[in-house]
Amino acid sequence: MKRKDLIKKLIDNGWWLFRNGANHDIYTNGINSEPIPRHREVDEKLAKDIIKRQGLK
């Protein structure tokens, strides 16, 4: 999955960029936080795990 598609899904569900880490960007919804790796392509299994773990639609 492309990184920008995963980030768009997070933003559409009320998440925002909390801070930039060294190798990851940290997104939060005010309660939970999720590190998103800074690669053009995010591994498909990792992307599906993030979507499932955070209950994104």
Of 48, 45, 4, 53, nearest to 25 by C-alpha is: 4
CB 23 within 8 A of CB 37: yes
Instruction: State pLDDT tens for residues 25-53.
Output: 999 999 999 999 999 999 999 999 999 99
Decide: helix, strand or coil at residue 7. Answer: helix
pLDDT, position 4: 96
pLDDT band, very low/low/confident/very high, at 22 (cuts 50, 70, 90) = very high
d(CA 44, CA 15): 20
pLDDT band, very low/low/confident/very high, at 57 (cuts 50, 70, 90) = confident
Taking the chain, what is the end-to-end CA distance rounded to the nearest angstrom? 15
pLDDT, position 32: 95
In this prediction, residues 15-25 reach a mean pLDDT of: 95
